[in-house]
Amino acid sequence: MSKPMEQGAGAGFEPRIVAFFCNWCTYTAADLAGVSRLKYAPNVRVIRVMCSGRVDPQFVMEAFAKGADGVLLGGCHPGDCHYAEGNYKTLRRMRMLERMLKDMGIADGRFRLEWISGAEGDKVKSVVNDMVAKVRALGPLDLPGKFAEWDKEIEELEHQISAQPAKEAVHAR
């Protein structure tokens, strides 16, 4: 499929990033980052799940559809999963999801999967900062805006319909 085309960076654009963090590693790492008073970009909103394996590709798509410019998924390193192998299941699904997002024109870098152990508070910081910078460069995704724009073509008709008797409206375009 053809390369995704998106608008470039908007001035003063602050990316909105939704993160799904597993309770045992990445969420704990984010806690550690806090305890260590590390400073990082405020653009990320963390949603806590017990295991990255709970994250369904639907969640990622829904986050984009509801206005996220990027989605970050954090889990335990391979082999360290608190639930033995949940993170492998995540990896497998998300490899396919990445291909699908590409085919739907969502640029690489808007979705990101990272292994961050409970001890890697500094990695939370560097990953978040790096992702925010990259997504800022990509510019807004703004799917809710796009949906509205796409649906203008049928809304316009809506106005005419409400404005004219049905019989005549049949011929209007």
Partner 1 sequence: MPDKPKVAFYWCASCGGCEEAVVDLAEDILKVVEAVDIVLWPVAMDFKKTDVEARPDGSIAVAFINGAVRTSEQEEWARMLRRKAQVVVSFGACANLGGIPALANQFKKEDILKFVYEDCPGVDNPSRTRPQTSTVDEGRTVTLPEIRNMVRSLDQVIDVDYYLPGCPPTPKIIMAAVQAILAGKLPAKGTVLSPDIALCEECKRKDSKPADLSLTEFKRPHQIQIDPEKCLLAQGLVCMGPATRSGCEALCPSGNMPCTGCFGPSSRVKDQGAKFVSSVFSNIAPKEAADIDKVLDGIPDPIGTFYRYGLSKCILRRKIN
Partner 2 sequence: MADNNGNKPQPIGLPRIGFYVCHCGSNIAGTIDVAEVAQFVAGLPGVVVSRDYKYMCSDPGQEMIAQDIKEHKLDRLVVAACSPNLHEETFRKAAAKGGLNSFLFQMVNIREHASWVHEDKKAATAKAKGLARAAVYRVRFHKPLEKQQVPVDPNVLVVGGGIAGIHAALTLANAGKKVTLVEREATIGGHMALFDKTFPTLDCAACILTPKMSAVKSHPNITLWTYSEVAKVDGYVGNYKVTVKRKPRYVKEDLCVGCMECIDACVFKEPKFTDQFNQGLGKRKPVYIDFPQATPKVVLIDPQSCIQLKTGKCKKSCAEACDRDAIDFTQKEETRELQVGAIVLATGFQAFDAKKEPRYGYGRYPGVYTALEIERLVNASGPTSGEVVLRDGRHPKSVGIIHCVGSRDAKTNKWCSRVCCMYSLKLAHLIQEHSGAEVYNFYIDMRAPGKAYEEFYDKLLSEGVHFIRGRVSEVTDWAMTPEEEGKLVLRVEDTLAGFVRRIPVDMVVLATGLEPKADAQEVRRRFNIGCGNEGFFQERHPKLAPVNTFTDGIFIAGACQAPRDIPDTVAQAGAAAAEALVLIDAGHVELEPNTSHVVEEECCGCKSCVPLCPYGAITFDEAKKKASINEVLCKGCGVCAAACPSGSIRQNLFEDEEIFSEIEGVLAK
Partner 3 sequence: MDKKVQEIYDQTQKIANQQYMGHRRVTIDPITRLEGHGKIDIFLNDQGDVDRAYLQIPELRGFEVFSRGRPAEDMPQITSRICGVCPTAHHMAAAKALDDLYQVECHPVGRKIRELVYNTFMLEDHALHVYILGGPDFIVGPDAPKELRNVIGVIGKVGLDVGKKVISTRRRLREIINYAGGKVIHPVLGLPGGVAKGIAPDQLPQFRQIAQEGLEFALFTLQVFKDIVLKNDAYVKLITSDAFTHKTYYMGLVDKDNRVNFYDGDVRVVTPEGKEYAKFPVQKYLEHINEHVEPWSYIKFPFLKKVGWKGFVEGADSGVYAVAPMARLNAAEGMATPEAQKARDEYFKILGGRPVHHTLANHYARVVEMIQAAETIVQLVNDPEITAKEFRTIPTKTPKSGVGVVEAPRGTLIHHYETDENGLMRMANLIVATVGNSARIAMSVDKAAKGLIKGGNVSEGLLNKVEMAFRAYDPCFGCATHTLPGEMPLIVTLRDLKGGVIREIRR
Reduce the DSSP state of residue 42 to 3 states and report it: coil
Q: Does 47 bind partner 3 (CB under 8 A)?
A: no
Residue 159 interaction partner, one of partner 1, partner 3, partner 2, none, beta carbon < 5-8 Å per kind: partner 3
Q: Which of 5, 11, 163, 166 is in the footprint of partner 3 by CB under 8 A?
A: 163
What DSSP character marks residue 164? Answer: S
Tell me if 159 contacts partner 2 by CB under 8 A: no
Residue number with CB closer to partner 3 (3 or 159): 159
Taking CB under 8 A as the criterion, the residue among 51, 107, 132, 141 binding partner 2 is: 51
Among partner 1, partner 3, partner 2, none, the one that 148 touches (CB under a kind-dependent 5 to 8 A) is none
Task: Say whether residue 66 binds partner 2 (CB under 8 A).
Answer: yes
CA 67 to chain centre: 8
For 57, residues 6+ apart whose C-beta sits below 8 A from its C-beta are 93, 94, 96, 97, 100
Beta strands in 50-140 (DSSP E): 70-75, 111-115
Looking at 51-59, 85-93, 128-136, 157-165, which segment touches partner 3 (CB under 8 A)? 157-165
CA–CA gap between residue 157 and residue 52 (Å, rounded): 45
Q: Which does 166 bind (CB under 5 to 8 A by kind): partner 3, partner 1, partner 2, none?
A: partner 1
Q: How many CB atoms lie within 10 A of CB 32?
A: 19
Backbone angles phi, psi at 89, to 5 degrees: -60, -40
The whole-angstrom separation of Cα 49 and Cα 46 is 10
For residues 88 to 117, the per-residue mask of contacts with partner 1, x marking binding by CB under 8 A and - elsewhere, is: xx-xxx-xxx-xx--xxxx-----------
163 binds partner 1 (CB under 8 A): no
- At 37, the amino acid letter reads R
Task: Give me the residues that bind partner 3 (CB under 8 A), please.
Answer: 1, 156-157, 159-160, 163-164, 168-169, 171-173
